[in-house]
Amino acid sequence: MKSHWVVAITGASGAIYAKSLLEELGKTNIKISLLFSEYGEWVSRHELEISENVLLADYFGKFAKKADFQFLENSNLAEQVSSGTSRFSGMAIVPCSMATLSAVACGNSRTLIERTADVCLKEHKKLILVPRETPMNLIHLRNMATVTEAGGIILPATPGFYNLPKTIEEIAQFLAGKILDQMEIGHQISERWGEN
């Protein structure tokens, strides 16, 4: 069966990581269900300088060269991925706000993002959270520990610099490469230390 990943964008800083990830996923032949929270949209528009005239779905949709991109409404809990019977491969929340991290750690399922994350944990599918906040308080740290204990993967937005990136895009691609590795999707978006 075709690999099917859910990618969610929430309101933490770092929309460029989602952009890099989706650019690379767009080159594969997998299915992507993309959704964003209200503040995921707000921060993405601000950081990626997307004009109000452009639908976010269209902005990210243009990256789908080979992949099958589908856009979902975060308010629609009746989507297929909301059910434990759904056969999607897993979910990446990129970037993941502390608010969404908290909702996932508590098992809140009031939005499609939160519900799909909950489905991933209960069905033992891969759940990758890319949190971004600094500094972090004890609640943030405990929520990350809770999600890890429940089987989720905390992949903080902390790019490495040992490949000597020259542009912001290269910094984002480093992180996108780490996410793709967790998704077990082959890529050449970033160099691997010692391989070149």
Ligand X SMILES: Cc1cc2nc3c(=O)[nH]c(=O)nc-3n(C[C@H](O)[C@H](O)[C@H](O)COP(=O)(O)O)c2cc1C
Q: Residue 68 burial by CB count (10 A; 0-12/13-18/19+): exposed, middle or buried? A: middle
Which residues lie closer than 8 Å to 161 by C-beta, 6 or more apart? 171
- Per CB under 6 A, which of residues 158..187 are in contact with ligand X? none
Query: In angstroms, rounded to a whole number, what is the distance separating the alpha carbons of residues 27 and 103?
Result: 32
- Cβ at position 65, least distance to ligand X in Å: 28
Closest separation in Å from C-beta 132 to ligand X: 4
Q: Which of 7, 8, 12, 56 binds ligand X (CB under 6 A)?
A: 12
Residue nearest to ligand X (CB): 11
Residues present in the chain in total: 196
Residues 56 to 115 in contact with ligand X, rule: CB under 6 A: 97-100
The nearest distance, CB 41 to ligand X, in angstroms, is: 9
What is the pattern of x (binds ligand X, CB under 6 A) and - over residues 23-42?
--------------x-xx--
| Piece in contact with ligand X (CB under 6 A), picked from 9-17, 78-86, 148-156, 169-177 | 9-17
Q: What is the DSSP letter of 137?
A: -
Biggest CA-to-CA distance, the chain: 47
Of residues 114-153, which lie at the interface with ligand X (CB under 6 A)?
132-133
* Residues 146 and 104: beta-carbon distance below 8 Å: no
